[in-house]
Amino acid sequence: MLTTVSTHVEFYQGIKGPLFRIIRTPAKVLGHLLFIAPLFEQANKTRHHATRSAMNAYQFGLQSIVFDHYGTGDSAGDLIDASMVLWQQDIVQQVNAIKAKSSQAIYFSLPLSAVLLLSDELLSLADGVILLQPDFNGKRFVQQFQRLAVVAQLTKNSKIEEGSSIRTQRTEQQTIEIAGYVITPSLLSEISGQSLAKLAKITVDCYWFEWQHQQEELSLARTKQQQAAVNKSNHLVIEQVDDVKFWQATELQLAQSFLTKEQQVFAKLASASLSFSAPEVVKCEKQ
C-alpha cells in the first residue's frame, strides 16, 4: 500500500540568495537527513536517486532536506558567483536552523564529489555521514572535469596544444566553459585544493558505500583513500555495493541493492535516536 509523503517545497533564504529545497517531514521525526548534492553534472545524475532515498528515509522517521546549491539547479544566482566557502556556509546555516528547532540528530548524505564540501566545521555539526562512492581527491576531480572541455574543443576541430588547453585559457579570461557550465578559475582552484588530508578527524559515525563487484579488485587509489579514512575515523563502516553505477548510466536507473543497504542504515539511525530521546513533531515553516 502506498504511503502519502508529507512534502513541502520552498525557496529558503541562503547566505547569498534563495535555495530551492524539498522537505519531507514524517509525523514523528526521529532525525534529520540533509542531502548534499555533488558538483556540476554529477548533481543531475544523482538527483533521482536522492529523491528515492529521501522517500525511503521518510518511512523510518527521518526528515529529509534535498536542496540545490546557490547558482545551480532551481536555486538563485549564477555559477560564476558561487564558491566552495559559500556552499559550505549555506549548509552550516541550514544545519543551525534545524538545531534551533530540534534536538534530534542530524546526518549528511554525500554522493561522489559532494564530499569535497566537507569541512571540520560541518563535521562538528553533524551526528553522522553517509558517503556514496566518495572521492576526496579534488585535484583529480578537476582534472577529469577539465578533460570534458578538451574533448569538446577537439570535436569542434579546435587546435589544442598539448599541456596548455585549460591552463592557457585561465590566464586569458576570467571564466571558462566546461560542458555547458561557465565557471571561474577560482572555483576550480578551491575544488582542486580539497582533500581528505584537510580534515582533522572524523569523529562521527561514517557509513561508506563502495561500488565494487564481488570479484573486482579495488584500485590502489580507492584503497589508499579508504585507508586514509580509516586512520581518521573511529566509527567508519565500509559497505561493498555490487550494483549499477547509476550516475554513469545513460538513462535513469536505481541501484536496488544499495537502496536496501541504505535502508538498513536508516533503520539503525532511527533506532539510535529512539534510544536517546522521544520522537518529536517538527513543522516546516515557510521562509
Helix (H, G, I), strand (E, B) or coil at 53: helix
Q: In what order do the strands lie in the sheet with 106-111?
A: 7-13, 18-24, 62-67, 31-35, 106-111, 128-132, 205-211, 236-241
The Cβ of residue 137 has, within 10 Å, a number of other Cβ atoms equal to: 20
CA distance 213 to 4: 35
Q: What does pTM read for this prediction?
A: 0.87
In 3D space, the residue among 147, 90, 160, 162 whose CA is nearest the CA of residue 122 turns out to be: 90
pLDDT of residue 283: 47
Q: Determine the distance from the C-alpha atom of residue 243 to the mean position of all C-alpha atoms in its chain, rounded to a whole number.
A: 19
Helix (H, G, I), strand (E, B) or coil at 272: helix
State how far the alpha carbon of 6 is from the alpha carbons of 3, 11, 66, 68, 284, in Å: 9, 17, 14, 20, 10
pLDDT of residue 177: 85
Domain ranges of the chain: 7-136+199-276, 137-193
Backbone φ and ψ of 279, nearest 5° = -60, 150
pLDDT of residue 186: 94
CA distance 179 to 17: 25
CA distance 241 to 249: 16
Residue 274 grid cell: 529512539
Residue 86 grid cell: 559559500
pLDDT of residue 5: 84
From first to last of its 287 residues, what are the pLDDT tens digits of the chain? 456 789 999 999 999 999 999 999 999 999 999 999 999 999 999 999 999 999 999 999 999 999 999 999 999 999 999 999 999 999 999 999 999 999 999 999 999 999 999 999 999 999 999 999 999 999 999 998 888 766 555 555 444 444 444 444 444 458 888 878 899 999 999 999 999 999 999 999 999 999 999 888 999 999 999 999 999 998 999 999 999 999 999 899 999 999 999 999 999 999 887 765 544 444 444 44
Owner of C-alpha cell 536517546: 276
H or E element that contains 13: strand 7-13
Which CATH entry fits the domain spanning 7-136+199-276: 3.40.50.1820, 3.40.1130.10, 3.30.565.10, 3.40.640.10?
A: 3.40.50.1820
- By residue count, the chain amounts to 287
pLDDT of residue 151: 58
DSSP string, 176-193: EEETTEEE-HHHHHHHHT
Q: Determine the distance from the C-alpha atom of residue 208 to the mean position of all C-alpha atoms in its chain, rounded to a whole number.
A: 13
CA distance 146 to 158: 15
46 within 8 A of 255, measured Cβ to Cβ: no
H or E element that contains 132: strand 128-132
In 3D space, the residue among 112, 141, 127 whose CA is nearest the CA of residue 50 turns out to be: 112
In 3D space, the residue among 286, 143, 268, 262 whose CA is nearest the CA of residue 208 turns out to be: 262
